[in-house]
Amino acid sequence: MRKDFRNTSWQKVAPWYNRVTEQGRGHYYHQHVVIPGVIKLLDLKPEDKLLDLACGNGVLAKSLPQNVEYWGVDIAPSLINSAKRNDRNPKHKYLVSDVTKPLQASNDFTHAAIILALQNVKSPVKALHNVSQHLIKNGDLVVVLNHPAFRIPRQSSWGLDADRKIQYRRIDKYMSPMDIPINMNPSDRGSEVTMSYHFPLSSYSKMLKDAGFVIELIEEWTSDKESQGKAARMENRSRSEIPLFLAIKAKKL
């Protein structure tokens, strides 16, 4: 029986997500930090074929070389429909599916990506096993996470050392896996809640190994924003020292 994805949490927040990502163009960090970094790590050639798991409304697809074959997969029909409406490239296909379940897709992808989404998947190792099933040998996988060591919902925050004029990052809990509910629109107390699933870096390393990958490169990406005013020097220093995102490039063995 075909599963009904209409009641998933990401289906319910799709209208809000489409607004904040400008119908697939991406929010500020997508445009200025994440997507440029992903494109560089993927290093795609015209003959390559990319699988994008939890693709949302197609943010990555818009920045790909035109001739690359692309499949985007997401559990939320509204996000997939938005991606289709805004993407006229005949080489791009979109599929509604749970990324932790077997995919109705080919198994000859040269590249795969999971961008700012693996932390929203309850069983990330299942998603990684799915990727492995569809990649060719020596195929490349790029995963981007909200940095698991510094951006843990409800367990990390900014602190201020007024005497030393230093803004620092406080971490209250890190090693323990956590299921953390997230209000997707903090300004609206009645907005839909989705889940974030925290794992330490050592867990992600083991998941990749168990799924048949070897890590080739890890990058940590900071914000390129700059503050103005009396606290600018302090804020810019902490912004340049505490990364927002962790990028992992891995190869299928």
22 Cβ partners below 8 Å, 6+ apart?
Answer: none
- Evaluate whether residue 238 is within a structural domain: no
The whole-model pTM stands at: 0.90
Q: What are the DSSP calls for 110-132, one per residue?
A: EEEEEES-GGG-S-HHHHHHHHH
What does each of the 253 residues of the chain score in pLDDT, given as a tens digit? 345 555 555 555 555 555 556 655 667 899 999 999 999 999 999 999 999 999 999 999 999 999 999 999 999 999 999 999 989 999 999 999 999 998 988 889 999 999 999 999 999 999 999 999 999 999 999 999 999 999 999 999 999 999 999 999 999 999 999 999 987 666 666 667 788 999 999 999 999 999 999 999 999 999 999 999 888 999 999 999 999 999 999 999 9
Q: What CATH number corresponds to the domain at position 75?
A: 3.40.50.150
Residue 182 is predicted with a pLDDT of 82
- Evaluate whether residue 93 is within a structural domain: yes
- Evaluate whether residue 191 is within a structural domain: no
- Evaluate whether residue 4 is within a structural domain: no
The DSSP symbol for 13 reads T
Read off φ and ψ for residue 16, nearest 5 degrees. -65, -45
Q: Which domain holds residue 91?
A: 9-149+196-228+244-252
State the residue for tokens 């000859």. 108
Residue 1 is predicted with a pLDDT of 37
- Evaluate whether residue 30 is within a structural domain: yes
**Would you state the structure tokens that stand for residue 95, as one six-digit string?**
């599929």
Query: How many structural domains does the chain have?
Result: 1
Residue 184 is predicted with a pLDDT of 63
- Evaluate whether residue 103 is within a structural domain: yes
